[in-house]
Amino acid sequence: MSTRPPTLRMKRRYLLILIEPAGIIIDQKGLYYAVSEAATSLWGDAVAAIIIPAVVASDGQYVIIRCQRGTEQDLSVALSTITTCCDTHITLRMIAASGTIDTLREKIRRIKKPGGESLSLRDCMFDKKLFKIDQCVGQKIDVIEKGFKNTNRLFLTTEDLEEL
């Protein structure tokens, strides 16, 4: 089957999405199912069939999600209802929308910052409990409680640790 001429092709838009919390690796297929379920649950099969959401690329924390042109707003509302993926509590933050994947890849290269700072993998105390610093970007510090069970993830700032 030959490809259609550009004027007859479906017009698409691509959304650049940041997955939070930092350091979580999400399977692309699992994310596709989560996006599809969220769109269908919120808008129903008829509108989801018009949006045609698809996860087309991922680069660490960033993913690119495709939709039909004109449905970006509907898709972004549906994406805001995603709270878990593969049994992990996550949130999707929309950063940009574009008509080409290349533009978004360029944007990822521009905004991507080097990984965790030197504080990473250090231990710290918070609320009389021992935590391991998992991520540290700017003033934001994500810590994981040390131990075999109840190893909760907490979201703190540098000031929270200095206060103690």
Give residues in contact with another protein (CB under 8 A).
Answer: 20-21, 41-42, 73, 76-77, 80-81, 83, 89-91, 93-94, 127, 139-140, 152-157, 159-160
In the bound state with another protein, the residue whose beta carbon lies nearer, of 91 and 120, is: 91
Burial (CB count <10 Å: 0-12, 13-18, 19+), residue 83: exposed
Task: Check residue 158 and report its DSSP letter.
Answer: H
CA-nearest of 36, 141, 140, 137 to 81 is: 36
CA–CA gap between residue 20 and residue 31 (Å, rounded): 13
Residue 102 vs 112, nearer CB to another protein: 112
**Of 89 and 102, CB closest to another protein:** 89
Nearest distance from residue 153's CB to another protein, in Å?
Answer: 7
Q: How far is the CB of 96 from another protein (least distance, A)?
A: 13
CB of 18 to another protein, least distance (A): 11
Q: Of the two residues 28 and 41, which places its CB atom closer to another protein in the complex?
A: 41
SS (H, E, C) 62-119: EEEEEEECCCHHHHHHHHHCCCEECCEECEEEEEEEECCHHHHHHHHHHHCCCCCCCC
Nearer to another protein, 36 or 76 (CB): 76
Q: How far is the CB of 94 from another protein (least distance, A)?
A: 7
Q: Shortest approach of another protein to residue 130 CB, angstroms?
A: 16
CA–CA distance, 40 with 14 (Å, rounded to integer): 19
